Every structure is written in structure tokens, then in C-alpha cells.
């Protein structure tokens, strides 16, 4: 269940919103009557999203938002502001809020908007965190390989090389290859051959395996089309030294 922290100094609205989001939207809602109380809850309870009123004594919603963003850049934050306070909404968004909802009008419409925004933002945040975790796991895996590995974008510029390829190329950091083509990091003869096979992988959308020779050594290079979330294709590859036949 999605757990939400809602902060507001209006007791009636605080209770009403909590009841609706719990009973009608199925959200687990903890409430606080001030930013200080909200900060105390955040230290002891993990939340998936935060809703905060703007006009509150001592610490207003914008200052509270800034405090939250100083230690958590990802948690969805929704400003609940008075009707007609568009300038507050703009300031909130500029300071890292993910959404804002204006008070006033039909309560059912407002609460439904709040619930829908929370669900959407939490799903998005979870997806982003999972993507980051998956990327990190992929990096760990590729860096553990004894063979060289690389990932290139649609423009054939390197997005990633693993530790083995970094060592083979004699680079001080894997980042030294990021944003560069083979022509910028390989001998020109190898770069030309590599570009031809890369373009074949991209245009034909098929994997291939070729052998290349460098410094008296023979390498088997396996390349394959690599789809990105944007819908474009890149090139992934593994380079392995083989014994001469």
C-alpha cells in the first residue's frame, strides 16, 4: 500500500483529506499539523509521497519542500495551495515539487485529483529507482567479466565500457571513452572495420561475430543490436582474445 505524509495546519481539512484518501483511494495516510511534526515523522517512517499545505506557521510549504529536497531528491512532493495561488504553484515547481493541487471547489474532485497524482508519481518514482538499480547491477556484471565489453548509442559513440576494455585501451578511466567513437580510441584500421560491422548490426538488426587482429593477437568480437527505452537501437559487444589456429 502507498504510504503518504500529509501536512496541513487546518485540522478539519487534515482529517477530511486523510479519511478520503484512506477510505476512498486506499492510501495509507499519516498526518501532521506542522512542518516540524512532518520532519519528525519522516525520521521514523518511510513514506512514498508527501502532500504539504503552503500557508503554515513558522515553516511554509516552500521552505519545507526545500528542506526535503536537501536530503531526498526523488520522493514525490505535492503542494496543496489555496485557490488562486498560481504564483505559489510556480515557485513550488521551480523548487522541486512534482505537482500542485489548488484548494477550493468540489471536495470529491480535489481529492480524486490528489489520489490520482499520488499514484502516478509513486509509480514513476518506483520505475525510475528500479531502472537505476538495474543499470547499476548491469555495470557490476559487465565489470566482473574477464572479456572486454562495450555499449554504443545510435550514433556509435560509447555509452559504457567495462573495466577489462578500459585496461585493454590503456585508459585511466572508463569515462574517458564515453561520448567517443571507435576512431577516437582505436587505431584507424580497426576503427574502420568496427564501424562497418556496427552499421551492419544497426541496419540489419542482427547479431554478428567477426575476428580482428591487433598487436599480433586475434580477437573474436560479438556484436548485437541493443534496444533503448526511447525506441532507438545501439550496439552492444563482447571482445574476447582467442588462440591462433
How many Å apart are CA 56 and CA 213, to the nearest integer?
70
pLDDT at 84: 61
Q: Which residues pair with 43 in a beta bridge?
A: none
Residue 214 φ then ψ, to 5°? -150, 135
* Per-10-residue mean pLDDT, the chain, length 245: 94 92 93 95 95 90 94 93 74 91 86 93 91 88 95 96 94 95 90 93 94 81 91 94 71
Residue 33 burial by Cβ neighbours in a 10 Å radius (0-12, 13-18, 19+): middle
DSSP string, 44-93: HS--SEEEEES--SSS-HHHHHHHHHTT-SSS-EEEEE-TT-HHHHHHHH
Angle made by CA atoms 43, 48, 52, in degrees to the nearest 5: 75
CA distance linking residue 73 with residue 212, whole number of Å: 46
pLDDT at 216: 77
Residues 6+ apart with CB under 8 A from 78: 49, 50, 51, 52, 97, 98, 99, 100, 101, 114, 117, 118, 121
Task: Note the pLDDT of residue 29.
Answer: 96
**Cα torsion for 81, 83, 84, 90, to the nearest 10°?**
20
- Tell me, what's the pLDDT at 209? 93
What does the pLDDT read at residue 106? 86
pLDDT confidence of residue 85:
66
Give strand ranges (E) for the chain: 3-7, 28-32, 49-53, 77-81, 99-102, 148-152, 158-161, 208-214, 217-227, 233-242
- In this predicted structure, what is the pLDDT of residue 83? 58
* Cα first-last separation, the chain: 61
Amino acid at each position: 500500500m502507498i504510504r503518504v505524509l500529509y501536512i496541513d495546519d487546518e485540522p478539519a481539512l487534515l482529517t477530511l483529506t486523510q479519511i478520503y484518501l484512506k477510505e476512498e483511494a486506499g492510501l495509507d495516510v499519516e498526518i501532521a499539523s506542522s512542518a516540524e511534526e512532518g520532519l519528525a515523522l519522516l525520521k521514523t517512517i518511510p513514506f512514498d509521497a508527501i502532500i504539504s499545505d503552503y500557508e503554515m506557521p513558522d515553516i511554509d510549504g516552500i521552505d519545507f519542500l526545500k528542506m526535503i529536497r536537501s536530503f531526498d531528491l526523488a520522493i514525490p512532493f505535492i503542494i496543496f495551495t489555496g485557490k488562486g495561488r498560481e504564483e505559489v504553484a510556480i515557485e513550488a515547481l521551480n523548487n522541486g515539487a512534482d505537482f500542485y493541487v489548488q484548494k477550493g471547489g468540489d471536495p470529491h474532485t480535489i481529492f480524486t485529483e490528489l489520489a490520482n497524482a499520488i499514484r502516478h508519481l509513486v509509480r514513476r518514482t518506483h520505475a525510475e529507482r528500479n531502472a537505476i538499480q538495474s543499470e547499476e547491477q548491469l555495470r557490476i556484471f559487465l565489470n566482473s567479466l574477464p572479456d572486454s565489453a562495450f555499449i554504443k548509442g545510435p550514433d556509435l559513440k560509447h555509452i559504457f565500457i567495462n573495466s577489462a576494455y578500459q585496461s585493454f585501451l590503456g585508459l585511466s578511466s572508463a569515462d574517458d571513452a564515453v561520448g567517443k567513437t571507435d576512431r577516437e580510441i582505436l587505431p584507424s584500421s580497426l576503427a574502420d572495420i568496427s564501424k562497418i560491422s556496427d552499421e551492419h548490426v544497426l541496419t540489419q538488426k542482427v547479431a554478428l561475430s567477426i575476428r580482428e587482429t591487433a598487436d599480433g593477437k586475434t580477437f573474436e568480437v560479438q556484436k548485437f543490436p541493443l534496444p533503448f527505452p526511447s525506441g532507438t537501437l545501439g550496439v552492444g559487444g563482447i571482445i574476447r582474445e582467442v588462440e591462433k589456429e
